[in-house]
Amino acid sequence: MNNPLVSIIMTAYNEELYIKEAIESVLAQTYTDFEFIIVNDGSIDQTESIILSFSDDRIKYVKNEHNLKLIDSLNIGLNLAKGKYIARMDSDDLCMPERLEKQIEFMEANPEIGISGAQLIVFGSHDGFMNYPLTHDDIRLKLFISSCFGNNVVMFRRVIFEKNQLFFPLGYFHAEDFKCWTNWMSVTKAANLNLYLVKYRSHANSVSSKHKLIQRETRNRIRLEYVKTTFSLENDLKTAVDFTGKISSARVNAIKTIFKINEEKKHFDVLKLKKTVMKLWYLDSLEEVENNFFVILKYPLIFKIDLKSNFKNWINIVKHFLKFKLAGK
């Protein structure tokens, strides 16, 4: 039997409420040449019986005798994948029927792209959309702030994964996907389709809801590593640390250094990099002001670089602080 074109990997731990719908959405794909690797990570609810209720030959069921957690389970699935392409899917989300068809069509037409994603529809506890940058350069810029793909809609070439051993890394708690994508950027080009191909379920038990503080700490560590690698700062760790550190005059100086390096090396479009750095400063200030009122006074340090685009942001930070305090948090 020939290998399928696509291997879809899903892990599940105690997902009896949602996994039936998730599996059905994969099996209902308009593109049908795939294997569906489902790793049951030691569930103690009805997850296993729900998975086994499906008789589709494309399902390859794996059961962990003990709960190994998400990353080890994902890497088990990656080791088993036989497809030309590997696609991720979460056990509480829903694929749009044409998801695989559209992504495969794109990857086949763009052989220079090693990894791709798409846009997400949010449903559940709240409704909305999650939008990701489309081009390789914009994705690289996005990584200074946060992840650049929906983890549940990503697809990549197995040959690149195997050559570079791009498993999900251990030790990056609750942000392993973010670290993984920064690793991918060093070996291939990336893109996101301008299509909504997966529905992301928002609920209180999601990782982003339960482990917000740990995610922040890990994210900041990944940012530091990414900045150091991107701008070749192995011999200037202080600039990398300050660039991703607390709101301060030292961070302003680090930003100026990064801008100077970028002008010399031409890593990014100058204006786009500036906008990304300004946004990062603003978002970090919103987080920090919840625990440190004096960020309101420190924020105008960035006015030395850009006054016009930051004055409004400063007002928003003040408003955020007042709203946070009035809510009694």
- Per-residue pLDDT of 80-107, as tens digits, reads 999 999 999 999 999 999 999 999 999 9
Is the model's pLDDT at 207 over the cut of 70? no
Contact 194/117 with Cβ under 8 angstroms?
A: no
Mean pLDDT, all residues of the chain: 93
Which pLDDT belongs to residue 189? 97
Mean pLDDT of 244-273: 94
Which pLDDT belongs to residue 1? 53
The domain limits of the chain are 6-210, 231-326
Contact 197/103 with Cβ under 8 angstroms?
A: yes
Which pLDDT belongs to residue 167? 96
What CATH architecture applies to the domain 6-210? Alpha-Beta Complex (3.90)
The C-alpha angle with vertex 184 and arms to 35 and 203, in degrees rounded to 5, equals 65
The pTM assigned to this predicted structure is 0.90
DSSP bridge pairs for 11: 39
Q: How sure is the predictor about 206, in pLDDT bands with cuts at 50, 70 and 90?
A: low
Q: How far apart are CA 82 and CA 78, in angstroms?
A: 9
What tokens does 127 get?
């409704």
Mean pLDDT of 159-180: 93
What tokens does 295 get?
């960020």
Which pLDDT belongs to residue 216? 82
